[in-house]
Amino acid sequence: MAQCTRNVAADDCNRCLVGAVNYIPTCCDGKQGGRVISWSCSIRFEVEPFYNAQAAEEAMSPAPAPGGGSVNGGAGSNHTVRTALLVSIPVAVALLVLLLVAVYLCRRNRKPHKHVQIATARHEDIDEGMRSSESLLYDLSMLRAATDNFSEENKLGEGGFGPVYKGTLQNGQDIAVKRLSATSQQGQVEMKNEVFLLAKLQHRNLVRLLGCCIEEHERLLVYEFLTNNSLDKILFDPARQQELGWGLRHKIIEGIGRGLLYLHEDSRLTIIHRDLKASNILLDGDMNPKISDFGLAKLFNIESSVGNTSHIAGTYGYMSPEYALHGIFSAKSDVFSYGVLVLEIVTGRRNTYTHASGPSEDLLTYVINIRTDPSDCHHGSVRTLFQALNPCRAWAGLEALEPRERSGAA
């Protein structure tokens, strides 16, 4: 069955239907039925009837003349029948041709690789997310041209699910394109998460998803381009970290906190990010932070606020103990990661820090050692910190790291 919306011209309808038919091998390869939905047309095919043929014929038949008879007698009746045939036969032929073309394309492009398949339900989830926002479906040719065919010169970085490239559209707009691995099943899950969640979330401290592309085995996500890249590129670069004064660091910490609060409490959905770290914080031209990379995020309903998983995913060092050891995660898991990130921003050290001569020391141990030996406050960047902060309040904030000492501290 092929349909177009009523406000679409015949030529536009034809182009839309041809594009939908060409998309069938991508979304429905090897399937006995499927549906392709676009903004102005849709196609559906099944091996069994899925609509009432008699009702369709009645809808296509002309209404009888008042009084049950024809005004012009037999000639009028013949004219009515002829008109009905002229209308219904071409429509039926067109539908049959479209169905045959769809079946032919599906069989011609059928391949045994499982990674090519995106279940119809999953595509419908993606389409639902796209329709609920201002996001767009981008053409692969457009994104290839924008990124110079994903050249190394335009590569911004490498994530857990694939590289990210800078691109420039024909209208001059800069974009960031994440190219998910075509052979990674986890990459497909990440894409579903990103599109479904980010299309429904709008906040100034969350990165904005512009759209996606699903063509020729490519899985691409298109984001707004943020000129200052990710926080880790500045924070852990000895030559650039001097750009981050205390006022700017406070601004970044506060912005990340606002974004996290929105995810946990203020949005229509309750989202646990599960992978909050410096490389997933992007900075715009004014150094405003935006949380990115929602591939591991989990959605909670109103009745539930704690999840459990046997598949531990994320970055060690930022994981809360209950999540790393037992797979239990909640909003508190994100808060733990946020605390580690705050310590990184304040000290300018990575969570795992390697001395020039000696074993590596994780950041939490480093901070606790400062508490044990306050003389360390007079060395490095920490000295400036404790000139600005009340040490007593700073130590009080670390009590949660050593519960056994709470009674002694009191």
Q: What single letter denotes the amino acid at residue 334? A: D
CB proximity list for 381: less than 8 A, separation 6 or greater: 347, 348
Nearest-angstrom CA–CA distance, 171 and 167: 11
In Å, what is the CA distance from 188 to each residue of 113, 216, 269, 296? 14, 14, 22, 12
Q: Which residue is associated with the tokens 């910490």?
A: 253
8 Å CB contact between 282 and 212: no
- Per the listing, tokens 């909050």 go with 276
CA separation for the pair 94, 100 (Å, rounded): 10
Coil/strand/helix, residue 395 = helix
Using alpha carbons only, give the angle 159, 232, 242 rounded to the nearest 5 degrees.
Answer: 160
Check: CB of residue 197 under 8 Å from CB of residue 297. yes
Local structure of residue 111 (DSSP, 8 states): -
Nearest residue to 42 via CA among 57, 25, 68, 23: 23
Question: Does 266 participate in catalysis according to the annotation?
Answer: no
Among 12, 125, 139, 275, the active-site one is: 275
Q: How far apart are the first and last CA of the chain?
A: 74
3-state secondary structure 320-387: CHHHHHHCEEEHHHHHHHHHHHHHHHHHCCCCEEECCCCCEEEHHHHHHHHHHCHHHHHCHHHHHHHH
Query: H helices of 109-245, where?
Result: 120-131, 140-146, 185-198, 231-235
Task: Find the length of the chain.
Answer: 410
> Active-site residue numbers?
275
